[in-house]
Structure 1
Amino acid sequence: MALRLAPKFKRVALHTRNFAAISSNSPHPSLNTVGPYQVFDRNAKRLQKDRAAAHDSGEKSRTVDYVRNEVADRMMERFLDIKRNFDTIVDLGSGPGHFTRLLETDKVKKSVMIDSSEVTLNRDPDSEFEVEVERVVADEEHLLETIDRNSQDAIVSCLSLHWVNDLPGVLIQIKEALKPDGLFLGAMLGGDTLFELRTSLQLAEVEREGGISPHVSPMTDTRDISNLLGRAGFTLLTVDIDEVKVAYPSMWELIEDLQDMGEGNAVIGRRNVIPRDTLAAASAIYKEMHGNEDGSIPATFQVIYMIGWKPAPSQPKPLERGTGKTNLKEVL
């Protein structure tokens, strides 16, 4: 196998693309069942994360932390801009603690890390964290079964929400778990994520097999997030988009790293095996359509960052229409 290039990170200009937003009003199923309106097999996703974190005692998983670590760094920039200290925060879908590892005791005293994968949650020892940590094995889709309503000052989520089936419902649960004027800070993958891989696999399947099947999971369109946060009851919203671009020697290293990240396909009805000749065709198409001048191929991870606050009487409110005292013509 070719040697992996060092991951390259780059902030780039964005172009949005429409994909289906995940929305469901179905009752919450258990982790081991598949409900009628589910898009993702949550049990399969948990097993993928378990296997990834257990491989080689977690060492293989640590080598592919670069995307989550980069996103956690950018989340922390936004967190530090909030001029408030917290006794305890909840790190929802924490994984091994990419965001919690960056916390310092002058800002936060304790982090409650929640994840559905026990192996992933316990991958790294407490000594790697500056703040006190508590680990809770629970499904992110059932937050209110683990956290009491109106009990938390802040809830954060770093690259976990793109795997939940009922995103509007989870956002409502997060809002309900917060105290009035509580903070929600999240980052999730958006619809342009891995569009290079998606298009290459689709073209290869059409060429070799005469049809396509889903291999990259559907993700929420960036324009939906503000509406979903508003519908969930959050106020003082901030939503922005960024991208992490990583260079790989070929598509094969990208697929290997995605598996080691626990980010394999978990769409219900997915194909478990892709013919080797289809993958070879996809690799050639990938390099031809998207390849870099140095022979490597890029992979785009589009990240949606969101901040919302639970309503409280003390929060600033917009003035009523007609109460302004400055004429806009004078300003312009």
Structure 2
Amino acid sequence: MSLLPRISSHSLRLLPFSLPLRTYASLAPSSSSSSSDDVNAPYQVFDRNAKRLQKDRAAAKEGGDRSRLVDYLRREVTERVLERFEDVSVSPRKILEICSGPGLFSQAMDPDEVDEVECVELSEHTLMRDPESKFDLPNLRRTHLDEEQLLSRIPENSQDAVISTLGLHWVNDLPGVLRQIQRCLKPDGFFLGAMLGGDTLFELRTSLQLAQQEREGGISLHVSPMADPKDASNLLQRAGFTLLTVDTEDLQFGYPSMFELVEDLKDMGEGNAVIGRRTFLSRDTLIAASAIYNSMHGSTDPERGFAVPATFSVIFLMGWKPSDSQPKALPRGSGRTSLKEVL
């Protein structure tokens, strides 16, 4: 996700917001510099504590009302994940929802179809934003936990399904988190998730780059590199999943200007959390970026008036934990029918 750095002028109506800058990385604190495994050690790109604080502030703003107002992206993604979930032939009884936010997926579930649901979220304020009355589930548990430490609280081989609706784009070690998810699942359990990737917010990124080149004579990174859909299946396979399914979908929303987009992203808790992040962007650069955004991407609708689009590329992931009951490909050379005869 991407956001804007802090504005240096107080005269512009825009709250602090920033785009992830992946210009710095540090070795994880648990990694020893003398270890022979350094080459495989995960690097800390995001400040998870800063991300937790950002989400906490966003969820607490106006008693949570502002956070609910900008749930439109998460709701759209949740609906699509729920459609895929309902297409699965098996009915998982014990479900773990990670990066759950306020638990919109769990709130939409049929209580007759599940026995136990647990929501895991980095931000406690976000996790507890909505009251228990919003969840029509017989056995719900909400756990405040960093998703990067999943196995510290969730037993192995304990879940029938693990669901994630956004949030994985902020973890430092995505392959490691996917491996932990795989270990949490029972044999023949499945993982179904959605994460931002691809060309998410490309309109904002290009506008900022052009504005910075014009006003400052150079550019710096403002949008963090995101997972490529082409690499998603490799990540699942590395984590030990089988029967993989990966697809993408672009969601586009309209805004009066770039500044409303930026403010909504901040209220979603998607501020810059990159280690060594830049703390401000000049007022002139922001104004120039808004003008470029309007010129390059804006359009006028006869009914709704002028608007600028923002594109969110969502990658949907699905994989199963191996089991002896799953269908397996036959060995090479075991075929009995030639394709020439069929075609």
TM-score by length of 2: 0.85
1:137 is aligned to 144
2:280 is aligned to 273
Matches within 5 A, 1:33-52: 37-52=43-58
Q: Does structure 1 residue 238 correspond to structure 2 residue 245?
A: yes
Structure 2 segments unaligned to the other structure (5+ residues): 1-21, 32-40
Q: Is the 8 A contact 1:84 1:107 kept in 2?
A: no
- 1:149 match: secondary structure: coil
Moved more, 208-217 or 236-245: 208-217
Q: Does structure 1 residue 98 correspond to structure 2 residue 104?
A: yes
Measured in 2, the distance between the counterparts of 1:291 and 1:279 equals: 16
Letter in 2 for 1:242: E
Measured in 1, the distance between the counterparts of 2:266 and 2:49 equals: 16
TM-score by length of 1: 0.88
Question: 95, 104, 112: which one pairs with 1:89?
Answer: 95
1:321 is aligned to 332
1:248 is aligned to 255
Q: Does structure 1 residue 119 correspond to structure 2 residue 130?
A: no
Measured in 2, the distance between the counterparts of 1:82 and 1:281 equals: 48
Structure 1 stretches of 4+ moved >3 Å = 23-29
Moved more, 304-313 or 100-109: 100-109
1:201 is aligned to 208
1:79 is aligned to 85
Structure 1 residue 312, shift from structure 2 partner: 0.8
Query: What RMSD, in angstroms, separates the aligned Cα atoms of the two structures?
Result: 1.9
Structure 1 residue 97, shift from structure 2 partner: 0.7
Structure 1 residue 173, shift from structure 2 partner: 0.5
Structure 1 residue 291, shift from structure 2 partner: 1.3
Question: 72, 75, 84: which one pairs with 1:69?
Answer: 75
Measured in 2, the distance between the counterparts of 1:315 and 1:27 equals: 40
Q: 1:266 to 1:92 in 2, by over 3 A?
A: same
Letter in 1 for 2:340: K
User: After superposition, what is the alpha-carbon deviation per residue over 1:260-295, rounded to whole angstroms, capped at 9, x for unaligned?
Assistant: 001122222222111111110000111111112332
Q: Does structure 1 residue 55 correspond to structure 2 residue 61?
A: yes
Structure 1 residue 40, shift from structure 2 partner: 1.0
Question: 142, 157, 164: which one pairs with 2:171?
Answer: 164
Q: Is the 8 A contact 2:42 2:173 kept in 1?
A: no
Letter in 2 for 1:37: Y
Question: 284, 301, 306: which one pairs with 2:312?
Answer: 301
Matched positions, count: 306
Instruction: State the percentage of identical aligned residues.
Output: 63
Measured in 2, the distance between the counterparts of 1:210 and 1:83 equals: 57
Q: 1:24 to 1:133 in 2, by over 3 A?
A: farther
